[in-house]
Amino acid sequence: MNNPGAQWHLDSPLSDVPKAVHGRLASYLAESTSEFQHIGTPATTSMNVLKDFIMGGGKRVRSTFAWAGIRAGLESTSAPVDELDTESLLTAISAFEFIQACALIHDDIVDQSDTRRGHPTAHRRFEAIHRESGWHGDSHHYGISQAILCGDLAFSWADDMFNSCGLPPHIVHRARDPWRAMRTEVISGQILDLAVEANGSESVSDAMDVITYKTASYTVARPLHIGAALTGASQATVDLLRGVGHDIGVAFQLRDDQLGVFGDPSVTGKPAGDDLRTGKRTTLINLALAAGGTGADELRRWLGTGEQVDLMRTIITDSGAQQQVEDLIESHANRASSAISSAGLSPQLTDELMALSTTLTHRTF
C-alpha cells in the first residue's frame, strides 16, 4: 500500500495533499479490486462504480485538514517523531476520503439527487445498469440498494485503511476516540437532517445543529483533531484546532447552502435550486421563513414541490436571508482566521491554513 519512492515529508505543503492522497487511494483500490474478482461480475461491477466515484473528483478537503493537524501538532509538541513514518501518515489521512465517499453516496440517496460533480449519482448509475440490462425487479430500488452497500463498503474501508496504515499501534490508538466520535457525529448529523426535513422544522438552531454534526465535524474539526492526536499534541492544541475547524466547517456548509440555491450548475455540478426542489431545511431557508409575511407563506407553499424555483430565490433574497448567511459566513471565517493567526504556528502553516480557509468559505463550486 505504501510507496517508499514517494517524496512525502513531514513539512509537505497542504497544496500537495490532494495529489498525494489520490495516488494512495488508487493503490489501495487496485489492491482491493483483486479481492472482488473471484466473487464474480456483479461484485466487480459494483466495485468499479465505487472506484469511479472515489477517484472521479473531490477536493480531498478532509485529508488536507488532517495533514494540517499533523503539522500543527508537530509544531506544538516536543515528542519524538521517529515513529511517525511519513508514508504511513499519508495512508492514514487518505482514509478520510472513504468516509467522505460513504457520506456522499448515502446523502445522495437521502436527498434523491440525480447528479454529483456533474455526473450521475451512484444510485442512478446502478439504476441505469439494472434497467439497461433488462433485469427483473424494480430498477430504482436496485440502484438504491446497491449504492447503500457501496457506501457501507467505503465506510469499512476507511477503518481498515486507517488502522492498518503502518503506524505503530500506540500511535494509531491516540486517535481512536476522535476517529470513533467522527463516525458517530456524521451519522447523527444525517439522522438530524432527515428528521428536520421530515418534521418541517423552521428552527434556525436545528439547521445549525445539522451543520455542526453532519458537516463541520467530519469535514474540518475532527480531521484537524485526529491529525494532531497522532502526533501526541497537547489538549490545548487540540482544543484550538477543533475550534478553528468548527468555524471553518460551519462557514463551508453555509456557503454550500448558498450554492444549493444560487449556485451556477455549470460550476457546482448540481442542478440550480436543488435545495428548493427537495425542500431542504437549511439555515438559509429557515432564516427566510423566519422573516414572516406573505413571502414566507409563498415559500412554504412551493418548497419541495419542484416548482417556482425562481420565485423562491427572489423571496429568499428579499427577506434578507441571503445577506444574513453571508454575514454568518464572514463571522465564522473571521473567527477562524483570528484563531489561526494567534495560534503560534509557523508562518508557512499559518499562511497555508489561511489560504485554505478562504478558498473553502468563498468558493463558487
> What is the tens place of the pLDDT at every residue in 315-355?
999 999 999 999 999 999 999 999 999 999 999 999 999 99
In a domain, 3, yes or no: no
- pLDDT tens string 252-307: 999 999 999 999 888 887 777 889 998 999 999 999 999 999 999 999 999 999 99
For residue 52, the model assigns a pLDDT of 95
Q: What is the number of domains present in the chain? A: 1
CA Rg, the chain, in Å? 21
In a domain, 208, yes or no: yes
Which of 256, 230, 213 has the alpha carbon at shortest distance from 95? 230
Which of 107, 63, 35, 134 has the alpha carbon at shortest distance from 270? 107
For residue 36, the model assigns a pLDDT of 85
Please identify every stretch of the chain with a pLDDT value under 50, giving residue numbers as ranges.
1-5
CATH code, domain with 208? 1.10.600.10
Domain that holds residue 214: 14-361
Which pTM does this prediction carry?
A: 0.94
Q: How many CA atoms lie within 13 A of 60 on its CB side?
A: 24
Question: What cell numbers appear for 81 in the block?
Answer: 517523531
Question: What cell numbers appear for 193 in the block?
Answer: 437532517
In a domain, 1, yes or no: no
C-alpha to C-alpha distance for 248 and 108, rounded to whole angstroms: 23
For residue 80, the model assigns a pLDDT of 64
Question: What cell numbers appear for 297 in the block?
Answer: 407563506
In a domain, 237, yes or no: yes
The full length of the chain comes to: 365
In a domain, 9, yes or no: no
Residue type, 13: P
Q: What torsion do the CA atoms of 356, 362, 364, 365 make, to the nearest 10 degrees?
A: 40
In a domain, 6, yes or no: no
In a domain, 148, yes or no: yes
In a domain, 191, yes or no: yes
